[in-house]
Structures are given as structure tokens and as C-alpha cells.
């Protein structure tokens, strides 16, 4: 394999990053899921108060993977982090790139004094085994916590009542 670099994402990566986000959505059987474009990523990730941060895996000036995360807060423990997505192109999987991206996010969380790193994985995704091999805990099983969501339509409906 050529020289791999794991680095923080730069503004000029946003077009390639958006393409990788689409590839993950296609894999997750949600091709119409992503509604953001590269300009949205630039605005939300590289403005005065970025809403997300990310790392990319680059080989020969081509992005082959990424991890997007953002900071959250726990009223019980304080500063925490949420890993929104981690993806590596299929032709580069099984080469430890996912492990290196995950390790970069874990290190950032640790260096930032986060009390925890949370993330979600679809139950059918083979990545479940990858994460379990890293020692993560499935809090749906262990603590009986469930993740709930109120989407835009739900918010609108709730606010109309």
C-alpha cells in the first residue's frame, strides 16, 4: 500500500468528503439520505464555530476514508464526544485504515478530556464486530438505553399542537 496519512480534514477536502458520505449512504441502503452538499460541509465544518470536526485517510492525494465527530455534553459527567460516521472505501478496508481513523478520534476525545465517546451502528452492519473488537459497550444491551429522534416533520407537528 502507498503512504497513508491520517489527518484533520481541510476546507478543500469537502467535495471529496461529500462523495465519500454518499458512498456510505449507498452502502447503508439510504442513497437519498444525505441532503448536504460540499458548501454545507464548508460552512458547518470550517466557520467561526464549527459544528463538526473530522479526520480523513489519504493515499496518493485521494481520500479513502473519513471520521466525522462533534462535541456533546453529559449532565452527569461533562464534556463528551459523538462519532457521527466512520467510513473507508471497500477497496481499502481490511488494511487497518478504519482502526487508525477510530484511534485518531479516540485520541482526540481523550486529549480533549471527554468523559466518553458515543456512536451508533446499524445492527446489520459488519462494523459492529469491528467496534466490539475495540472493547466498546453496546449500551442498548448493557444499560437498556435507546436512542430516539424527532425529525423536522415531527418537530413541526409538535410545535403546531
Q: Does 131 participate in catalysis according to the annotation?
A: yes
- Sign of the CA dihedral running 118, 122, 128, 130: negative
Residue in 66, 71, 131, 148 annotated catalytic: 131
Q: Hey, what long-range contacts does 47-56 have (CB within 8 A, 24 or more apart)?
A: 52/84, 53/8, 53/9, 53/108, 54/8, 54/9, 54/17, 55/6, 55/7, 55/8, 55/9, 55/101, 55/104, 55/105, 55/108, 56/6, 56/7, 56/8, 56/9, 56/13, 56/16, 56/17
Catalytic residues: 131
Amino acid at each position: 500500500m502507498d503512504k497513508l496519512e491520517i489527518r484533520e480534514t481541510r476546507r478543500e477536502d469537502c467535495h471529496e468528503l461529500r462523495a465519500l458520505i454518499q458512498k456510505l449512504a449507498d452502502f447503508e441502503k439510504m442513497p437519498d439520505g444525505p441532503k448536504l452538499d460540499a458548501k454545507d460541509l464548508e460552512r458547518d465544518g470550517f466557520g467561526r464555530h464549527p459544528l463538526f470536526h473530522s479526520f480523513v485517510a489519504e493515499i496518493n492525494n485521494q481520500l479513502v476514508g473519513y471520521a466525522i465527530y462533534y462535541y456533546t455534553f453529559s449532565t452527569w459527567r461533562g464534556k463528551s464526544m459523538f462519532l457521527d460516521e466512520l467510513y473507508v472505501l471497500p477497496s481499502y478496508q481490511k488494511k487497518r485504515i478504519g482502526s487508525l481513523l477510530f484511534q485518531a478520534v479516540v485520541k482526540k476525545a481523550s486529549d480533549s478530556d471527554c468523559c466518553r465517546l458515543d456512536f451508533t451502528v446499524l445492527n446489520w452492519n459488519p462494523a459492529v464486530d469491528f467496534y466490539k473488537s475495540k472493547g466498546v459497550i453496546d449500551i442498548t444491551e448493557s444499560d437498556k438505553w435507546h436512542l430516539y429522534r424527532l425529525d423536522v416533520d415531527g418537530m413541526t407537528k409538535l410545535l403546531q399542537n
